[in-house]
Amino acid sequence: MLKVGLTGGIGAGKSEVSRRLASYGALVIDADQIAREVVEPGTPGLAQVVGLFGTGVLAPDGTLNRRRLGEIVFGDDELRAKLNSIIHPLVGARLRELEQGADADAILVEDVPLIAENDLADFYDMVVVVDVPPRLQEERLVRDRGMTPDQVAVRMAAQASREQRLAIAGIVVDNSGSLAELDREVGELWAELSRRARSSPAQPG
């Protein structure tokens, strides 16, 4: 099994890349999706979050109001660290469960936003970084997610810098162009991942 970490800054387009890799046959695990699952209503994760932040982070239907929670934690390093201390172990445990269920010959792609921030690069056979210039990140987030420039600046400041992400990259996917150009880049990426998977030594059982 080839274990690939896929990362990139907010608005870089990791989801576009992961969807294309899945269409080629990669087993894609989305850490953000898992992070949502571990705080669904009735979970211990949500109970811990509410215990820390209060019921003000809940929507009227009892689900977690992620936008409200983000407004609270992304401007406060200490609160964000406390939230991460709840969420990250739950996500990590679920990731390990899914990894254990993967086929031995799978190309496993884990879409994880915080590989650089949490020093996780060594857990992967390769790290793929989806890269765009910061200015383009801001333009996309304002246009596509309705964020204000101030909100974007806070979110980007809470993440690793572009240079820190590129420093851990085994392969860089440039997503600053068109979707057609991204299609071509991901096709080349898949060919390289497939080559590496074929040449990687068998893992001991």
53-73 pLDDT per residue, tens: 999 999 999 999 998 998 899
Q: Does residue 204 form part of some domain?
A: no
pLDDT confidence of residue 201 = 60
My answer on whether 42 and 92 are in the same domain is yes
Beta-ladder partners of 171: 128
Under 8 Å between Cβ of 160 and 117: yes
Low pLDDT (below 70) residues in the chain = 201-205
Helix crossing, 66-73 with 77-100: angle to 10°?
Answer: 130
How do residues 16-32 score in pLDDT, each as one tens digit? 999 999 999 999 999 99
205 domain residue, yes or no: no
Which residues have CB under 8 Å from 5's CB, separation 6+? 110, 112, 115, 120, 121, 123, 124, 126, 127, 128
In this prediction the pTM is 0.84
Same structural domain, 44 and 74:
yes
Q: The tokens of 180 are what? A: 């057609």
Number of structural domains, the chain?
Answer: 2
CA atoms within a 13 Å half-sphere pointing along the CA-CB vector of 50: 17
Domain match, 179 and 141 both:
yes
